[in-house]
Structure 1
Amino acid sequence: MSVGSLMDMPDVWIGLTATERRRNWWWTGFLTLVFAGWAVAAGLAQPASERWWWVGGTGVLWSASVLYMINRGYGRTCLTEDGMQFRTFVSRRAIPWSEITRIEKRRHSTRGGAWWDLRAVRRRGRALTIPGVFTHRMWDAEFDRKWAVIQERWSRANGD
């Protein structure tokens, strides 16, 4: 594909589908219930002088977790002719294609399971997680489609 035809390509938005966002909200609700149970248990089990520290600490951890889940659920990436524009609930960032050396799939494991996301590895600086692309399923066609679109745009921009 020539550079001229790359310039004519429309911007592509990558983000969670309505089903994926709904699933993220269910997990956020579950997380809220876990923290609420933890706060109640801590409040009932601790002596009155220490109770508010435990309940307050649980509230702070819950707030950070919910902010992470909302930020993750509403994050999107716009693929433009110049690069990637990351948009989340709390930040905006643009990365030119020339700064990206590769797009990698990364697996995270916990006791509760595993999840995958994509990262843009830059020439200088740390790799950045691409908003709007993550999954909890090992074989997820929508996740693989998003990865392929990002890989294709990055390859075309670099002349590969």
Structure 2
Amino acid sequence: MPDVWIVFSPADRRRYWWRTGVVVTVLVGATVAMGLAEIGSDPWWWVGVFGILYLVAIFDLVNRVYGRTLLTSAGMELRTLVSRRRVPWSEIAGVEERRRTNRNGTWTDLRITRHRGRPLALPGTLTKRRGDAELDRKHVAIQEYRSRATAAAPTSAQAAG
């Protein structure tokens, strides 16, 4: 079976970059305004604290946008800017959609549940659109690849006999 990548489309990446740009502009403007306002005797430490929080939030978003998942016959490889993790098909109990709701709306992504250990979010599957056909396509592709890979792999009883 050929390897398959689960990634964001170029249009999705552009949309997330625009969203990041707007958020960064608003947050930097708020931080500068707060720093220039006279709040007590020394307001600049607030600017540093908020600046660090903004950098962490921006890094998290960039990490999510450039994350991707590689489906191979041996398992899944989850790649982000800072990490790589391989999960064999034998460790995966299932693939599920996770929905998180906050003030900005409902975000949906795909997660793998493992037989042991905590669930892992799959890079390249985050969306805010309700009923996203692209997310459904990715979910079906992962399920099909998993079923083919586990059907092609010999079980321990077949290998021993």
Question: Are 1:38 and 1:58, in contact at CA under 8 Å, matched by a contact in 2?
Answer: no
Q: Please identify runs of 4+ aligned residues in structure 1 that moved more than 6 A.
A: none
- Match in the other structure for 1:55: 47
Q: CA deviation at 1:46?
A: 4.3
Counterpart CA distance in 1 for 2:3 and 2:142 is 11
- Match in the other structure for 1:114: 106
Q: Structure 1: 5+ residue runs without aligned partners?
A: 1-8
Number of aligned pairs?
A: 152
Q: Structure 2: 5+ residue runs without aligned partners?
A: 153-161
- Match in the other structure for 1:3: none
TM-score (norm 2): 0.89
> Mapping of 1:56-135 within 5 angstroms?
56-135=48-127
Deviations 1:22-65 (A, max 9, x none): 01101110120121122023213343643121100111011001
Larger radius of gyration: 2
- Match in the other structure for 1:152: 144
Counterpart CA distance in 2 for 1:119 and 1:50 is 45
- Match in the other structure for 1:10: 2
Percent identity between the two aligned chains:
52
Q: CA deviation at 1:154?
A: 1.5
Alignment RMSD: 1.5
Q: Choose between structure 1 and 2: higher strand proportion.
A: 1
Deviations 1:82-133 (A, max 9, x none): 0000111111111001001000000010011111000011111110000011
Q: SS at the partner of 2:82? A: coil
Q: SS at the partner of 1:90? A: coil
Counterpart CA distance in 1 for 2:151 and 2:100 is 31
Question: Are 1:115 and 1:134, in contact at CA under 8 Å, matched by a contact in 2?
Answer: yes
Change (3 A) 1:53 1:121: same
Which shifted more, 42-51 or 87-96?
A: 42-51
